Amino acid sequence: MQNSFLSNTVMSKVVQYLQTPAFRKNLIAAFVAIICLFLAVYVGLKIYTKHDESIAVPKIKGLHINAAIQALEDAGLEYQIDSVYQMDAKPGLVIEQDPEQGFHVKSGRTIYLTIITQVAPEVSFPNIKDKTLIEATAILKNHNLKIGDTSYVADIARDIVLDAQFAGQSIRNGRMIPKGSRIDLVLGNGLGANEVEIPNLIGLPLNEAKFALTGAGLGLGTVTYDPNVTDTTTAVISVQSPGIEKGLTSLGAKIDVTLSLTAPTSTTGTPGGTTTPKPQGNPTPVNPPAAKPAVPAKTTTNNPPAKATNTTPPAGQKKENKSNSLGF
């Protein structure tokens, strides 16, 4: 009973207070304070965030970093730069921007830029010596290096890397050089530095000439035939280039030959076994003219009897001839 009485008394006092002018004044003041606080926060945020104020991001991609920075500063924007390396790209070139061109941002917004580094990073030079040109090209490409000039020197190994040069000097394995550097290569030409004596092929048939060239470490070059050659199996070499007068030539060099019916007479005695067919195929040598005088002598002695028999039809003359022959 006592508790219910106390609660009723408190409630009656609260009701009486709510009906007083002081409460109404305090309530109105609190409401006004809340509204003022809301307005202050709204206006303050609008000013702080620059509501309804935006700037279109200018085009930065493709510009040099200096021009890009100037454009961002003129627009009232901040920037942050990151760099990467790309071979064959212009150093300092802006290749990426975030946000993109035309995006509306607040003034002071940070624009993130990616540029090509102006100082190329270094890479360790790989081992490419004694590699083929194809292998060396692939290795250099994997290390972001380029092939510069290629030169050939006399060596038996063809297209094998004998030396690598950077900036005109030989470079050792493991040396640090900038990416994208050009490497000059010195390759072997496959001919070698050794020289061999040129064999004499004059008077030899083609198959024997091939055998002689193989034994000397040389190769057969261009083969041409004289227009008079009808049977290639009987033709012999009449001209070779280079000739024996040159003396020596590089190992593996090619010898061009020309085949004719006969070889020059000045070299008939050099290659053995090939000089005997020449008098048979050529009627102009010295021996055949020696036989010709004998042939006319026989024909002149035989012709008069033939003429006598044709021009003396009488039988008396025939008998005289017989008797003269018997008497002689």
CA 298 distance to own-chain centroid: 79
> What is d(CA 199, CA 220) in angstroms, rounded to the nearest whole number?
12
Does residue 276 carry a pLDDT above 50?
no
Least confident among 167-171, 230-234, 277-281: 277-281
Q: What confidence score (pLDDT) does residue 69 get?
A: 92
Task: Provide CATH code, domain 55-116.
Answer: 3.30.10.20
Over 70: is that where the pLDDT of 264 sits? Answer: yes
User: Which class for 204: exposed (0-12), middle (13-18), buried (19 or more C-beta within 10 A)?
Assistant: buried
273 band by pLDDT with thresholds 50, 70 and 90: very low
Between CA 168 and CA 155 the distance in angstroms is: 21
Cβ-proximal residues to 181 (8 Å cutoff; 6+ apart), any chain: 145, 146, 166
Q: Tens digits of per-residue pLDDT, 15-55?
A: 777 778 887 888 888 889 999 999 888 888 777 766 667 78
- What is the C-alpha separation between 94 and 115, in angstroms, rounded? 4
- For the residues 262-278, what does the mean pLDDT come to? 50
Q: Given the structure tokens 């496959």, which residue do they identify?
A: 190
For residues 111 and 78, give the distance between their C-alpha atoms in angstroms, rounded to a whole number: 6
> Cα–Cα distance between 88 and 76 in angstroms, integer?
33
Domain boundaries in the chain? 2-48, 55-116, 123-189, 195-280
Report the pLDDT value the prediction gives residue 328, as an integer from 0 to 100: 34
User: Would the pTM of this model clear 0.85, i.e. be above it?
Assistant: no
pLDDT digits (tens, 9 = 90+) for 115-152: 988 788 899 999 999 999 999 999 999 998 999 999 98
Considering the domain 123-189 in this protein, what is its CATH number? 3.30.10.20
Distance CA 8, CA 53 (A): 60
Higher pLDDT, 104 or 182: 182
Same fold, 123-189 and 195-280: yes
Report the alpha-carbon distance of residue 208 to residue 216 in Å, rounded: 12
* Maximum CA extent, the chain: 210
Please state which CATH number belongs to domain 195-280: 3.30.10.20
